[in-house]
Amino acid sequence: MSRFRLFLRLPTAGLLVQVLLLACPMFATGPHYKYLRVGNATDIQTKTQGGFALLGGGKDLDRAFKWMCERSGGGDFLILRASGDDDYNPYIQGLCKINSVATLILPDRAAAEDPFAAAAIRNAEAVFIAGGDQADYINFWMGTPVQQALNEAIARNIPIGGTSAGLAVQGEFVYSAQADPPDGPDLSSPETLSNPFHPRVTIVHQFLDNPLLKEVITDTHFSARDRLGRTLVFMARILQDGRAHHIRDIAVDERTAVLLEPDGAATVVGAGFAYFLQATENPETCKANTPLTFRGVAVRSLHADERFNVLQWSSNEGTSYTLSVAAGVIHSTLPDGAVYTKKNK
């Protein structure tokens, strides 16, 4: 072969090597995760106090994050997400006196399988799951070391929090949104009430193992996005499918949080309401392509600084009322048949 022909072939060979490096996992050098940290680069260990900050979405609440920081003992605060950026880092660093704040972005199962991800959770003194898409959290993290590390954190009294999608995964039962179209509209109350077996009604079990939230499902952005109907459908489906004998729900408004102590005492903070629902009987009619009939759902609605005990599932504060669904239509014992509560002027 002439030197001229060899020279012509060298760039082609180099390009082939570059393609192989990009296409073949065995040549990959960078991690799948993204880790962004501010504050002290060295981890510390502090005495922590357990608890759960359940945020309904919308604007973040300083009080909820300060509560988590205090329970971290000033240690290392970790934000978990599947997409997005590190906006929480400067926010929490400016709000709290803590050793560090880090954001760990885990956008696929390979990232969640990386030993670094579980180690970052185990080294944290507070863990917060950001908003986003709960389908990503279930698809990417469930059944991986990340899920195991989160449950270990709960067991060793690390404060855990979540907002929006990060709240949606907190209960024993989770509306997983796995059948939702990418960037499509939210699953609505009317479409679920008219068909409780709508293909998008996807419910998974026990992503997190929190003893305080057994037989509980959660919902977020509650009154702002009119999610009561779909919440009632989720409860009915869990009972109808025989997945639990009893079902309860904690549904939280935007700019609102439930701060849950390890002894079951919960305090509502923020601008809106938190709703604690409990089914008292099984659904009468819960089948495909038929409007739901489901009666006797007891509700306790609480707003700022009112308290509820999740172990006793009771409170002497707030507003108590009952909801029933008849042929897909919600009926309420509140005045004028209202289904959400409002603050007195």
Residue 224: count of CB within 10 angstroms of its CB: 15
**Is residue 19 in some structural domain?**
no
- The answer to whether residues 115 and 247 belong to one domain is no
Do 152 and 297 belong to one domain? no
Q: What is the pLDDT of residue 29?
A: 57
Q: Which residue has the higher pLDDT, 111 or 28?
A: 111
Pick 43 or 12 by higher pLDDT: 43
H or E element that contains 240 = helix 228-240
Q: Quick one: 273 and 152 in the same domain?
A: no
Pick from 112, 130, 165: which residue ends a domain?
165
Q: Which of 10-14, 158-162, 191-195, 234-238 has the lowest mean pLDDT?
A: 10-14
Does 8 map to a domain? no
pLDDT digits (tens, 9 = 90+) for 180-221: 998 889 999 999 999 999 999 999 999 999 999 999 999 999
Beta-carbon-side half-sphere exposure of residue 122 (alpha carbons within 13 Å): 11
Is 201 found in the same domain as 78?
Answer: no
Same domain, 140 and 231: no
Is 326 found in the same domain as 300? yes
The tally of domains found in the chain comes to 2
Structure tokens at 296: 């006797």
Whether residues 221 and 334 fall in one domain: yes
Last residue of a domain, one of 137, 165, 193: 165
In the block, residue with structure tokens 């009926």: 331
Express as a percent the part of the chain with pLDDT over 70: 91
For 34-90, the pLDDT digits (tens) are 999 999 999 999 999 999 999 999 999 999 999 999 999 999 999 999 999 999 999
- 345 vs 243, residue with greater confidence: 243
30 pLDDT band, cuts 50/70/90, is confident
Label residues 300-314 b or e (16+ Cβ within 10 Å = b): bbbbbebebebeebe
* Residue 85 resides in a domain: yes
Q: Which of 7-16, 23-32, 327-336 has the highest mean pLDDT?
A: 327-336
Q: How far apart are CA 50 and CA 156, in angstroms?
A: 8
Residues 256 and 206 in one domain: yes
Domain of residue 134, CATH code: 3.40.50.880
pLDDT for res 10: 35
Report the C-alpha gap between 229 and 219 in whole angstroms.
11
Same domain membership, residue 319 and residue 284? yes
Q: Is 81 within a domain?
A: yes
> Residue 241: which domain range?
171-345
Number of alpha helices (DSSP H) and beta strands (DSSP E) in the chain: 10, 17
Pair (90, 195) in one structural domain = no
Cα 150 to its chain centre, rounded Å, is 13
**What is the arithmetic mean of pLDDT over 267-287?**
98
Same domain, 214 and 104: no
Q: What is the sign, positive or negative, of the torsion defined by CA atoms of 259, 121, 49, 65?
A: negative
| Angle at alpha carbon of residue 251, lines to 249 and 252, rounded to 5° | 155
Average pLDDT over every residue of 221-248: 98
**Residue 223 counted as domain residue:** yes
* pLDDT grade for 16, boundaries at 50, 70 and 90: very low
**C-alpha–C-alpha distance, residues 281 and 142, integer Å:** 31
Query: Are 101 and 248 in a shared domain?
Result: no
Q: Is residue 24 part of a domain?
A: no
* Residue 117 included in any domain: yes
Q: Which two tokens stand for residue 331?
A: 């009926």
Final residue in a domain of this structure, among 144, 165, 186? 165
Q: State the number of CA atoms in the 13 A half-sphere of 198 facing the CB.
A: 23
Residue 20 lies in a domain: no
**Angle between helices 115-122 and 145-155 in degrees, nearest 10:** 10
Handedness of CA 146, 151, 152, 154 (dihedral sign): positive
